[in-house]
Amino acid sequence: LSPPSNGTMSGQCDPGICGNDCTFSCNKGFTLAGSRSLLCLESAKWSSSPPSCVQVKCPLLSTPNNGEMSGDCSSRIHGDTCSFSCKTCYHLIGQQVLKCENGIWNGKVPQCNLISCQKLIPPSNGRMSSQCDPGICGSECTFSCNYGYILRGSATIRCSENGQWSSTPASCIAITCVALVKPNNGDISGTCSPGVPGSSCLFSCDTGFVLSGVIELRCRLDGQWSANPPQCVQIHCSPINKPNVGSISGSCANALPGEKCIFSCPSGYTLVGLSILTCQITGQWSNNGQAPFCAKNCPAIGNPVGGTASSSCFNPIVFSECVFSCSPKFELVGPSKIICQMNGSWSTSPPTCRKTMCDDLSVPYGGIWISECREGTTSCPTTCVGRPSQRCTLICGRGYTLIGSATTTCDPATLEWKPIPPICREEPSAKSSSGARTVSSKKIASVRN
């Protein structure tokens, strides 16, 4: 007999001796196909045919869930190795490498288990959400705080592939705003040292000082004050410019409270407004800071012909009113009142007085106006009223001679008597007569117009 391929034999095999055995064995990775031992029979034959060595394979391997295999995993012959690995966020439980030994793997197929991080608990005075209890690889846990508290640490941490959280869990600490100090020349009140979210700190200044900035600061939820702290600065009133044609004196530039600025105007101008402004404790000038100005005076206006003007017309100042009126037998043409404006001119041209009647005619000595006598009376007026179109006739008494036309009329167009009114001239011979100056009233009354 000869040894099988990939095997060996032992015992009384070459040659065989009756009654003796020949034993066969195979190399690693091979197994006998046939009888392990043959007996040499009395017939000089072996008890069976010699065995052979056939190659042995390990069982098929399955890829673990969420894992992978690599290496000699499919040939499965003696000496082959198969390596295992897991996907991200999974870790291997078991042997990483299996070896095929005489048709048997030297271990079980490992498993891939999901990686998890330790269980977290909510922070004191806070909350957590998402995948926190426990953490799962790749997931996040988010932290938040109750009102009045702020996170110290990361708001979100991640469960890493190594089974550890990406950072230490956050904690919640009480929110406070930095302590405030009172400003120079001022004071503070409220919740200021330190500030608490939602609370306010109020600022004030000593007399003579004013806040530069906001009066109230609020502590916000982020632990910051709502604005920068204000300062107390000394109060000054803003500089005042002098009037256009006037002058100023006193404390008019950067005045302190209580100081005054005085205004004046040159001749021919009138100051419109208060002549003195006082710097107030608020840093504002009195009179709402309204400075006066110099307005030019208007030219004087005299009495119109046939009328009069008020006293304010002769020495007018801005805004003064000039009032006009006309004498009897005159009428006003134009406004009865004009005003002196700030530009030194009157609001309109002065009015005039227009004549409306002729001058009244007084009866000349030695005569009467018969047109003025009433019927049935002997009382005749001594005046002929100058109404337009009025006709007056003069009658001279005994001892007097009529000079001119006896009748004259008030011309409506010219308001003049036409023709020239007559007169009565005493006759020379009548001067010595005591009765020459008397006219019989009965005879005069009998004459009609």
Q: How far apart, in whole angstroms, are the C-alpha atoms of residue 1 and residue 47? A: 12
In this model, does residue 68 exceed pLDDT 70? yes
pLDDT value for 431: 57
pLDDT value for 216: 96
Average pLDDT over residues 389-409: 91
Average pLDDT over residues 331-342: 93
Tokens standing for residue 295: 């307005």
Average pLDDT over residues 312-325: 92
For the chain, the structural domain boundaries read 7-55, 67-114, 116-174, 186-234, 247-296, 307-355, 361-445
Average pLDDT over residues 228-246: 90
105 phi and psi angles, rounded to 5 deg: -75, 140
pLDDT value for 430: 56
In this model, does residue 313 exceed pLDDT 90? yes
pLDDT value for 449: 32
Percent of the chain with pLDDT over 70: 93
pLDDT value for 377: 46
Most confident of 41-55, 362-376, 427-441: 41-55
Q: Which CATH superfamily is domain 67-114 in?
A: Complement Module, domain 1 (2.10.70.10)
How would residue 435 be classed by pLDDT, with cut points 50, 70 and 90? very low
Structural domain 307-355, CATH architecture = Ribbon (2.10)
Query: pLDDT by residue (tens digit) across 11-28?
Result: 889 888 898 999 999 888
442 phi and psi angles, rounded to 5 deg: -65, -40
| Cβ-based neighbour number of residue 19 at 10 Å | 10
pLDDT value for 380: 56
- Helix or strand run (H / E) with residue 445: helix 441-445
247-296 and 307-355, same CATH topology: yes
Q: Which CATH superfamily is domain 7-55 in?
A: Complement Module, domain 1 (2.10.70.10)
In this model, does residue 244 exceed pLDDT 70? yes
DSSP E strands in 57-194: the ranges are 67-71, 81-86, 90-93, 97-101, 104-105, 111-114, 116-117, 126-130, 135-136, 140-145, 149-152, 156-158, 171-174, 186-190
Structural domain 247-296, CATH architecture = Ribbon (2.10)
How would residue 189 be classed by pLDDT, with cut points 50, 70 and 90? very high
How would residue 442 be classed by pLDDT, with cut points 50, 70 and 90? very low
In this model, does residue 169 exceed pLDDT 50? yes
CATH of domain 361-445: 2.10.70.10
Tell me the whole-structure pTM to 2 decimals: 0.41
Q: How far is CA 44 from CA 41, 47, 236, 293, 301, in A?
A: 5, 9, 141, 156, 177
54, 7 Cβ separation under 8 angstroms = no
How would residue 375 be classed by pLDDT, with cut points 50, 70 and 90? very low
Average pLDDT over residues 139-164: 91
Structural domain 186-234, CATH architecture = Ribbon (2.10)
441 phi and psi angles, rounded to 5 deg: -65, -35
Average pLDDT over residues 435-447: 37
Average pLDDT, the chain: 87
According to CATH, the topology of domain 116-174 is Complement Module; domain 1 (2.10.70)
Higher pLDDT, 122 or 222: 122
